[in-house]
Amino acid sequence: MKNIPVYHVDAFTDQAFGGNPAGVVPEASDLTEKEMQNIASELNLSETAFLYHSDSPDADYRIRYFTPAEEIDFCGHATIATAWILATKYAWADRTNQVVLQTNGGLVPVKWVKEHGRLTAVSMTQLPPKTNDIVEDPTAIASLLGIKPSDLDEQFPIKMSNTGVWHLLVPVKTRVAIDKAQPKLNELANMNKRYNISTTHLFTFNTDDKNLDLYTRDFCPAIGIKEDPVTGAANGALAGYLYLEGVLDATKTHALMIGQGHAMNRPGFLSVTVTPQEDYPRIEVAGSAVITIEGTMTL
Q: How far apart are the first and last CA of the chain?
A: 6
Q: What is the pLDDT of residue 52?
A: 95
Q: What is the pLDDT of residues 129-168, one digit of tens each?
A: 999 999 999 999 999 999 999 999 999 999 999 999 999 9
Q: What is the pLDDT of residue 1?
A: 84
Q: What is the pLDDT of residue 226?
A: 95
**CATH architecture for the domain at 130-286:** Roll (3.10)
Measured CA to CA, the distance from residue 1 to residue 299 in angstroms comes to 6
* Short-list 6, 70, 7, 10, CA closest to 230: 10
Residue limits of CATH 3.10.310.10 in the chain: 3-123+288-298, 130-286
Q: What is the pLDDT of residues 240-273, one digit of tens each?
A: 999 999 999 999 999 999 999 999 999 999 999 9
- Active centre residues (catalytic): 47
CATH number of this structure's domain 3-123+288-298? 3.10.310.10
Query: Which residues in the chain show pLDDT less than 50?
Result: none
The DSSP bridge partners found for residue 50 are 25, 64
298 contacts 49 by C-beta, under 8 angstroms: no
Task: Name the burial class of residue 1, with classes exposed (0-12), middle (13-18) and buried (19+) by CB atoms within 10 angstroms of its CB.
Answer: exposed
Q: Cα separations (Å) of 54 from 25, 28, 101, 102, 123?
A: 15, 12, 8, 7, 21
Measured CA to CA, the distance from residue 178 to residue 188 in angstroms comes to 16
